[in-house]
Amino acid sequence: MVHYYPVSKKELKDLLKISREVFKCSVEKFSEGYIVFIEDAGAAVYIADKIPIMVELKTREKLPAIHLLNRGVCEIPYVTVDQGAVPRILNGADVMAPGIIELSHFPQGALVGVREPQRKAFIAVGRALMSSEEISSVKRGKAIKSLHHVGDKIWEGIIETLIKMQ
């Protein structure tokens, strides 16, 4: 079940601040916004100007929405996975080091975008279990803990809401 409500001007300012400072996005301003509660996923999504901006998990952790990352306005660290890893990640699997074919620099614990190899589109967001240096040197084990991916309950709730908003 999905419910959405308008957010206040103050909440929009806070969302803009998080987008700029935490997710390193070059966003000028937001004119209207909504908070979407996705009960099945236990998450909330903030949508500004009809663009999903931020996902807040039940743990209160805040992630950039995949839709926002694919607009190319954020400087989030990333990994690109090989084509064989894509279906597994879309089914919710964590990212394994051997499946990574390209990566930017990031420390352990960083939020990391996961890209597919052909169009370089983001398909997931996760938390780095190793630094980029460790991933490059060991080439084995879990590298990124998947927190949100294309096709999950959060994604489905976002799509359902965007359709309702049209």
- The domain that holds 41 is classified in CATH as 3.10.450.120
Q: Domain of 96: which CATH number? A: 2.30.130.10
Residues 103 and 66 in one domain: no
Q: Looking at the 3D structure of the chain, how many domains does it have?
A: 2
In terms of domains, do 157 and 144 share one? no
Distance CA 33, CA 10 (A): 11
Same-domain pairing of 40 and 95: no
Distance from C-alpha of 117 to C-alpha of 79, rounded to nearest angstrom: 10
Domain extent, residue 115, equals: 78-148
pLDDT of residue 140: 87
Please state the rounded mean pLDDT for residues 71-93.
96
pLDDT in tens, 88-137: 999 999 999 999 999 999 999 999 999 999 999 999 999 999 999 999 99
Look at residue 13 in the predicted model and tell me its pLDDT.
Answer: 92
User: Tokens 């890893």 map to which residue?
Assistant: 85
Whether 156 and 144 map to the same domain: the answer is no
Model confidence over 11-67: pLDDT tens digits?
999 999 999 999 999 988 888 999 999 998 899 999 999 999 999 999 999 999 999
Q: Give me the mean pLDDT over the 148-165 stretch.
A: 93
Do 60 and 84 lie in a common domain?
A: no
pLDDT score for 38: 93
**Please, what's the b/e burial string for 18-52 (b: 16 or more CB within 10 A of its CB; e: otherwise)?**
bbeeebebebeebeebbbbbbeebebbbbbbeebb
